[in-house]
Structure 1
Amino acid sequence: MKDSSVMSGPDSARKPGPTLTAVNGVQLLVSLDLCIVNVALPDIAAGLGFESSELSWVIHAYALTFGGLLLLGGKVADLLGHRRVLIIGLLVFALSSLLAGLATSPGVLVAARGLQGVGAAAMQPASLAVLTTTFPEGRARARAFGIWSAVNALGAALGVVLGGVVTELAGWRWVMLLNVPVALVPLWLAWRSLPGDARVVRAKRPDVLGGALATTGMTALVYGVVRAADLGWTAPQTIVVLAGAALLLALFVVVERSPHRDPLLRLGLLANRSVTGANVINLLIGAAMASCFYILSLYVQTVLGNSPAVAGLMFLPFALGVIVGAVVATGVGRHLPPRSLMLTGVPLTAVGFMWFGFMRPDGSFLVDVLGPSLVASIGFGLCLGPVVSTATRGVDDDEAGMASGLLSSARQIGASVGLAVLGTLAQHRTGSELTAETLTAGYGLAMHVAAWLLLLGAGGALLVLPSERALATSTTARR
């Protein structure tokens, strides 16, 4: 018997259709916001009078609170109820988006972006936990996560497209305000369709110290990484912050081993090879994909000379490719285990990134963007859903939020670290002479390194993830 349990009605009370729509609406919102702001940054700077050194905090404020609070958000969802935390997160996100769109000063906008991160850190792990507890393992869950992965990619691509189009036609404020109506649909569906949450019974005291250590440690880690891109990895400030983050997270592990607490992250969860392996792969995928969207958007604008709106449209084939890969994964997932799909999709994505790495200063959309986009995106679509479903495989319903928060944390940390590291490599390779040739050389190097990271992820999957036979044996033993 677990020390904390959830006393509730059956999951069958949930309506799968509206539940899937609500969860996908949340993921669309998160993916959209991660990408839509980037293209609007120059207009934001001009509109509110940002100094060049301050502008990056429009991105960093969101990344800090989102990445720092994900573990806590997942645990709170398990304790207070997935539906309740999902609704609260959506409300916070919608209201902070409204505040960001009406901001009259840099400080107000940065504060609103930080509050958006708080809302996202609550609603994303809660929504994944709802998805996990609604759809049982097997064909139904594979289909649900396949649709979720397609929406994830569609939101990222639409973010880039809408960021350019909306900024040009309506102004940067609507880049923020667009989140409000998008949030209202999943909010209404969650309110109307999801059953009431259970009363939580705790036999141990809440893990306040663990929550404080995890939140401050994760925040310090993300802060140190995003600042390293500006200050350098050997700068004293970078070293001090990253060392402090490592110390806080080490203390967090020590605290979580205490038998007298209701842990924020039960360390025994990491003994589940499916959970650990999927999170390692997710971290590396996050590093590669965040860098891909950032570097590719720079290449098609600064080297190929396209406008923000046209550059955004160039990402649509990537989104369509992910949808195709997700549909294929859903279909063949009836016959192939998630491990096999990951071992196919991750190397295929790496091939696409390797192709990206050969981009040319006088390149064309057909050869240097469209071709590798289709290869990489189909591979990404094949593995994204299986990664998420594998990360929650064998996890009890009352720890679904915890597992989902861990998965989201891995993706966010991977994205922050990957973007900082690969961006630094690209800048170092480019040097001080900013020509089409030097910029392309830097971008190409970053893409090749990202490809090797993905291959490292495939190797990790092969070594860490259990085979279907081992999983079947483990399931039989538990029964």
Structure 2
Amino acid sequence: MTSTRTTTPRARPYAAWLVLPLVCACQFMVILDSAIINVALPSVREDLGFTPVGLAWVVNGYLLTFAGFMLPGGRAADLFGPRRMLVAGLLLFSVASLAAGLAATAEVLVAARVAQGAGAAMMAPATLAVINTSFTEPGARARAFGAWSASGGVGGTVGAVAGGAITTGVSWRWVFLINVPIGAVLIGAAVMSLAGTRTGRRGSLDLTGAVTGTAGLAALVYGVMRGADGDWASVPVAGPIAAGLLLLVVFTVVEARLADRPMVPLRLFRIRGVAAGSGTLLLFGGITIAMWYFTSLFLQNVLGFSALQAGLAQTPAAVTFLLVARWAAVLPPRFGARLPVMAGGAFLLAGFGWLAQAHTGSGYLTGVLGPMLLVAAGIGLTFPTLMAASTADAPEGDAGIVGGLAQTAGQVGGSIGLAVLATAAGARAASAAGASSPASALASGYALVFLLAAGLGLAVAAAGLLLPRRR
């Protein structure tokens, strides 16, 4: 029999709320780092002599390990305690950031980004496990998820602005080096504020499941990343996708039949919130990509904004998301998860449908800002509700892996969404190139992306019906 080892939480009534700023700051840093580098890439290429293909791995190396290692990171939080995994992830992330900021060669920078992604994959599920074990009252938990979700969404938008400001004002190296003092402060805060929380349970990590699951997810994400170039039938694209799917089948068999202590117990998918919430988050990943990534491209490539101007132009949407996510946190305890998700899907459908009408002659205020605010409100209603619904019924000993499942679904959905939407935009723009200006052709491609995203919004609204009915 597997024994458990727990410690008694601190009795002070406000202790859990001391934890919330910590987990929000960690989530903010994780998402910020995935976005802040984008504006700095031209300077990185010039200083370190990257090839165009190699430069993509400054971004892809981080995203690949972040997605691939999320599941073992979540299970490790259950086995060894979320506090230990959060501190370990912060330490690895900070050391890797230092290495990235001091990198003298392209190879060192890519290796450091890979290590950053692994650190982020340890941190992210641990933050959800901390929320689940620190906030047991449904209303308090919902508000905590609202704050956690808002911090990640704002981190993605702030990254575009901060990346441009730091690269222009100081150096691209400080995009990474700034994480080192912040990480040190967060490590100290984690050690102090999480003292006395659950330290984990005795047990060993399912190595076969960890290897097959991680390798399968990594191969699948790598393949779809390569698919963004448009040649889905080529061996470099189809090969990794097929290998990833095969490994995930093997992983499922191992977890169902062979593992004594499976990394992802399949019984968790009998919990309606886990299954429906994680499945909907897979769709939701494409929506966030369409919002933050493709609207930035539209502003720059069609309306002529600079990267910094595009980041600033998205700031009102980020503020809207922050406010709505915090306000929406009170809805699930009163009305359940279905109503906020269905309402959010309706906002997404309307906002992206409106945004699909934008063209080269559209003004920012009339053609872009209004629909972006609608979409941001839809994301603010939907995302924290889905995260709360996905993890609300998780047994305490499985809080880390359930959080890892939810975040993996969103991350993989975002990778697939980026590849599919980029392929669709490129094909539409190429077909329109001969009959219109380059900016108009690109606008046509982005219009198709926004129409597809509107369809995803409708699918999210429909999927809301599958969520648990109860409050």
* Aligned positions of 1:100-139 closer than 5 A: 100-139=100-139
Deviation string, structure 1 residues 359-387 (Cα, Å, up to 9, x no partner): 11122110222111111111111122111
Cα distance in 1 for partners of 2:188, 2:454 equals 41
* Aligned positions of 1:50-129 closer than 5 A: 50-129=50-129
Cα distance in 1 for partners of 2:180, 2:122 equals 17
* Aligned positions of 1:54-453 closer than 5 A: 54-196=54-196, 197-198=198-199, 200-202=201-203, 206-230=205-229, 232-258=231-257, 261-431=260-430, 433=433, 435-453=438-456
Residue 5 of structure 1: how far off its partner (Å): 5.3
Cα distance in 2 for partners of 1:455, 1:4 equals 45
Deviation string, structure 1 residues 90-149 (Cα, Å, up to 9, x no partner): 011111111111111111111110000000000000111011110014111011111112
After TM superposition, the structure 1 stretch with the greater mean CA deviation from structure 2, 344-353 or 211-220, is 344-353
Structure 1 residue 23 corresponds to structure 2 residue 23:
yes
**Which residue identity is paired with 1:90?**
L
Deviation string, structure 1 residues 318-355 (Cα, Å, up to 9, x no partner): 11111121132134445322221111112212321222
Cα distance in 2 for partners of 1:254, 1:273 equals 22
Q: Secondary structure at the match of 1:54?
A: helix
> In the alignment, which residue of structure 2 is the partner of 1:477?
none
**Which residue identity is paired with 1:375?**
L
Deviation string, structure 1 residues 217-274 (Cα, Å, up to 9, x no partner): 0110111110111261111221121111111000100000136511110001011111
Cα distance in 2 for partners of 1:34, 1:350 equals 26
> In the alignment, which residue of structure 1 is the partner of 2:5?
7
After TM superposition, the structure 1 stretch with the greater mean CA deviation from structure 2, 453-462 or 20-29, is 453-462
Q: Is the 2:73–2:122 Cα contact (8 Å) retained in structure 1? A: yes
Residue 206 of structure 1: how far off its partner (Å): 3.9
Q: Percent identity?
A: 40
> In the alignment, which residue of structure 2 is the partner of 1:465?
467
Return closer, same or farther for 1:303/1:395 CA change in 2, 3 Å cut-off: same
Residue 199 of structure 1: how far off its partner (Å): 5.4
Residue 12 of structure 1: how far off its partner (Å): 4.8
Cα distance in 1 for partners of 2:377, 2:330 equals 14
Residue 279 of structure 1: how far off its partner (Å): 0.7
Q: Is the 2:206–2:259 Cα contact (8 Å) retained in structure 1? A: no
**Which residue identity is paired with 1:348?**
F
**Which residue identity is paired with 2:201?**
V
Deviation string, structure 1 residues 200-228 (Cα, Å, up to 9, x no partner): 233xx641111110011011011111011
Return closer, same or farther for 1:260/1:364 CA change in 2, 3 Å cut-off: closer
Cα distance in 2 for partners of 1:38, 1:235 equals 27
Q: Secondary structure at the match of 1:201?
A: coil
> In the alignment, which residue of structure 2 is the partner of 1:475?
none
Cα distance in 2 for partners of 1:76, 1:64 equals 19
Cα distance in 1 for partners of 2:386, 2:329 equals 13
Cα distance in 2 for partners of 1:73, 1:140 equals 25
Residue 194 of structure 1: how far off its partner (Å): 0.4
Q: Is the 1:231–1:238 Cα contact (8 Å) retained in structure 2? A: no
TM-score calculated relative to the size of structure 2: 0.95
Q: Is the 1:72–1:211 Cα contact (8 Å) retained in structure 2? A: yes
Residue 13 of structure 1: how far off its partner (Å): 5.0
**Which residue identity is paired with 2:452?**
V
CA RMSD of aligned residues (A): 1.7
**Which residue identity is paired with 1:150?**
A
Cα distance in 1 for partners of 2:354, 2:5 equals 52
Q: Secondary structure at the match of 2:201?
A: strand
After TM superposition, the structure 1 stretch with the greater mean CA deviation from structure 2, 155-164 or 87-96, is 155-164
Unaligned 5+ runs, structure 2: none
After TM superposition, the structure 1 stretch with the greater mean CA deviation from structure 2, 145-154 or 108-117, is 145-154
Cα distance in 2 for partners of 1:199, 1:438 equals 55
Q: Is the 1:22–1:185 Cα contact (8 Å) retained in structure 2? A: no
Cα distance in 2 for partners of 1:313, 1:387 equals 28
Q: Secondary structure at the match of 1:172?
A: coil
Q: Is the 1:21–1:186 Cα contact (8 Å) retained in structure 2? A: no
Return closer, same or farther for 1:64/1:260 CA change in 2, 3 Å cut-off: closer
Return closer, same or farther for 1:441/1:394 CA change in 2, 3 Å cut-off: same
Return closer, same or farther for 1:47/1:137 CA change in 2, 3 Å cut-off: same
Cα distance in 2 for partners of 1:437, 1:285 equals 28
Q: Secondary structure at the match of 1:55?
A: helix
Q: Is the 1:322–1:381 Cα contact (8 Å) retained in structure 2? A: yes
Q: Is the 1:80–1:200 Cα contact (8 Å) retained in structure 2? A: yes
**Which residue identity is paired with 1:72?**
P
Q: Is the 1:25–1:185 Cα contact (8 Å) retained in structure 2? A: no
**Which residue identity is paired with 1:376?**
V
After TM superposition, the structure 1 stretch with the greater mean CA deviation from structure 2, 31-40 or 14-23, is 14-23
Cα distance in 1 for partners of 2:309, 2:331 equals 35
Q: Is the 1:12–1:134 Cα contact (8 Å) retained in structure 2? A: no
Q: Is the 2:223–2:240 Cα contact (8 Å) retained in structure 1? A: yes
